[in-house]
Structure 1
Amino acid sequence: MPFDRINDIVIHHRIDGPANAPTLVLVNSLGTDFRIWDSIMPQLTDRCRVIRYDKRGHGLSEVPPAPYRMDEHSADLLGLLDHHHIDAALVVGLSIGGPIALGLAAMAPERLAGLVMMDTAPKIGDDASWNGRITAIEDNGIAAIAEQILTRWFTPAFRTADNPAFVGYRNMLLNSPVAGYLGSCAALRDADHTETARALRLPTLCMVGDQDGSTPPALVKACADLIANSRFEVVAGAGHLPCIEQPDATARLLSGFAASVFGQDAAA
């Protein structure tokens, strides 16, 4: 498990796939760690070098005091590319990962070969919703908002007590570092990359679960409409985390898009 110091904090990350292959970077959602991508990895690593990492305040990465700024998250992503001498990568941003990737596009557009906006938007939520969530967690912990979040994350078919995967991902949320979760809530509250998205001239795929309760299909379609020549796809039978509920469909979309960005040899 590699641990490296990036921008003065320790970032936990993992690299899989051929060393000389084009690079795909997976940026996971709020309240999760990079294990959420496990089920799609076999379909991506045949032809791509895949980097997964726990953003600051999440998983096994270091947890600086809250609040965070979105440009800190984006600078961490850029620092990770620098650390591994990656000139340009196809970045997949899930939920908060979308604004993180857009922040990279604003800082250093040449470092992006393409972009996947997965269940995300340039602006997610508003001040009132994020401040309410921050207050609830400060008063009573992540457990106070867990059921509300899980309802938005997963479809009713997945969200059952007899589904071991649901229980596991619920535990992942509940065990998230509180400071990291709060810090990233503040980053989402304060971030608006609408103009960055409007100015993008990169190959871009916007995709969303058809039952996403956090960033619904209409919001993600509006994101696609902002980005010139972007592609929009809906994943049936999925909520906010299609990589968990519909890994095969998600992997097909990602590997096909990688092939279009890097050439046919870049995807199985």
Structure 2
Amino acid sequence: MPFADLEDVQLHYRIDGDPDGPPVVFANALGTDLQLWDAMLPHLPAGLKLIRYDLRGHGLSSAPAAPYSMGALIRDAERLLELLDIRDCIFVGLSIGGMIAQGLAVKRLDQIRGLVLSNTAAKIGTAAKWQQRIETVNTAGLESIADEVMQRWFSRGFRTLPEMALWRSKLVQQSPVGYTGCCAAIAGTDFYTPTSGLRLPTLGIAGSEDGDTPPDLVRETIDLIPGSSFALMRKAGHLPCVEQPRDYATLLDTFLQKIGHYG
């Protein structure tokens, strides 16, 4: 169970696949951990180096005092990749992970040669909305928002399955400090201008039933990057890699082949 000691934070990470293969890095969504990708990774082709980590304040990573800035989250990813000597990776970020991906690509093009921006945007929600959520969690805990979050995360069909209870439990078990810290980072982020300056291969993925980052919001961000492509996963919510792991992996694989990342 490896940890990266980055002084102010300790990040839990995991490497699967071929240790000498072309790297693909995954950053999780708010309220989840690196297990977000568990069901999808087995459907990817052999020969890739698959790197996952828990965002600060999530999973087994440490939870420094809140609030966090998006700059801090980007530095976490930057320093982890430096520690692991990763360059020219494809960075797959979902939700807040996709915001980190955008910021890291602007800052360190040597580390990233392509982006997958999944269920994310250059700006998500309003500062007032995020502040209200922070206050609710600080007052009543994560349990108080869990049912509402599940409604936004998952499609109507998935919400009837027993598996949804696992994701609700995972959300409730996250560190409230880590959760609200990352809420503050999202609240303070507007990447429309820097993201519009990116010039690298980019795939955008949206879920047709996503209640957090609807398809039009995702597409608006993807359209900022010339030459980017966009895929809509029907009957999927905010975490399509959980609901439709095989189809999600197919989209990733097609993108990786298209830009010559392996093979």
Fold-level match, TM-score > 0.5?
A: yes
With structure 2 as the length reference, what TM-score do the two structures score?
Answer: 0.97
2:99 is aligned to 99
Tell whether 2:132 aligns with 1:122. Answer: no
Distance 1:260 1:85 in 2: 25
1:228-243 equivalences in 2 (<5 Å): 228-243=226-241
1:153-232 equivalences in 2 (<5 Å): 153-160=153-160, 163-232=161-230
**Maintained 8 Å contact 1:214/1:240:** yes
**Maintained 8 Å contact 1:7/1:79:** no
1:45 to partner: Cα distance: 5.4
Q: 1:124-158 deviations in whole A, cap 9, x for unaligned?
A: 01111101111111110111111111100001111
1:137 is aligned to 137
1:5-16 equivalences in 2 (<5 Å): 5-16=5-16
Distance 1:64 1:247 in 2: 32
Partner AA of 2:86 in structure 1: I
**What SS class does the counterpart of residue 195 from structure 2 fall into?**
helix
**Maintained 8 Å contact 2:222/2:228:** yes
**Maintained 8 Å contact 1:18/1:45:** no
1:193 to partner: Cα distance: 1.0
**Maintained 8 Å contact 1:16/1:45:** no
Q: 1:146-172 deviations in whole A, cap 9, x for unaligned?
A: 111110000111112xx2311101100
2:254 is aligned to 256
Structure 2: any 5+ residue segments left out of the alignment?
none
Partner AA of 1:247 in structure 2: P
1:20 is aligned to 20
Distance 1:263 1:174 in 2: 37
Q: Which runs of 4+ in 1 moved over 4 A?
A: none
With structure 1 as the length reference, what TM-score do the two structures score?
Answer: 0.95
**What SS class does the counterpart of residue 46 from structure 1 fall into?**
coil
RMSD (Å), alpha carbons: 1.1
Alignment size in residue pairs:
263
1:71 to partner: Cα distance: 0.8
Distance 1:251 1:167 in 2: 23
Q: 1:167-191 deviations in whole A, cap 9, x for unaligned?
A: 1011000111000000000000001
**Maintained 8 Å contact 2:106/2:198:** no
**Maintained 8 Å contact 1:137/1:144:** yes
Partner AA of 1:216 in structure 2: P
Q: 1:208-262 deviations in whole A, cap 9, x for unaligned?
A: 1111010000101111211111101001121000000010110000111112233
**Maintained 8 Å contact 2:6/2:79:** yes
**Maintained 8 Å contact 1:28/1:93:** yes
